[in-house]
Amino acid sequence: MPHHEKRRFIRHLLVSPLEFKVSESEEFQKTETVDISEGGLLFVSRQDVAVGTVIFLQVPVYDKVFKIKAKVVHVKKDDLQSLYRIGVEFQNYADAFKVKLIEQIYLIEEYRVLRSLQEDRDMSLKEASEEWIKRYSERFKKLYW
């Protein structure tokens, strides 16, 4: 039987730190993302979370923390690792935009590391950002807007 693809958005691999909690009164649990898309993200957790639950996410990036609300849309248990793979969708455009900014920051950091190796010097984040924007911002814009 053929598999029917339900996704509306292309996924992009992005492993980054993530914290989540199910209710306002809980402490945040540390984990990491697996991938992201324009509509949501996938992360791993030791805790099962019911589909339909609205959860709170925090994504630390350098000295900033992006706060996002998302709704759990699917959960799959990974028995090999004793983890749950939790897919969430963003609740509003502003949260989706925050994640796009986070993705761009990570792409620029990867670019900075690559260019530092190519040039055999430590390229600053500012230099890498300026160069990355000149080279790739049009392509990035076409992918997401």
- Model pLDDT for residues 25-74, shown as the tens digit of each residue: 889 999 988 887 777 888 999 999 999 999 999 988 888 888 989 999 99
Helix (H, G, I), strand (E, B) or coil at 105: helix
Least confident of 9-13, 22-26, 93-97, 126-130: 9-13
pLDDT band of residue 85 (cuts 50, 70, 90) is very high
Residue 106: CB atoms within 10 A of its CB come to: 17
Supply the pLDDT for residue 30: 94
- Per-residue pLDDT, averaged over 8-30, amounts to 77
Residue 11 phi/psi, 5° resolution? -90, 150
Mean pLDDT of the chain: 82
Strand partners, 71: 54, 89
Q: What does the alpha-carbon distance between residue 142 and residue 102 come to, in Å, rounded to a whole number?
A: 17
What average pLDDT does range 91-105 have in this prediction?
A: 80
- For residue 14, give every residue at least 6 positions away whose Cβ sits within 8 Å of its Cβ, in sequence order, or none: 33, 34, 35, 36, 41, 102, 103, 106
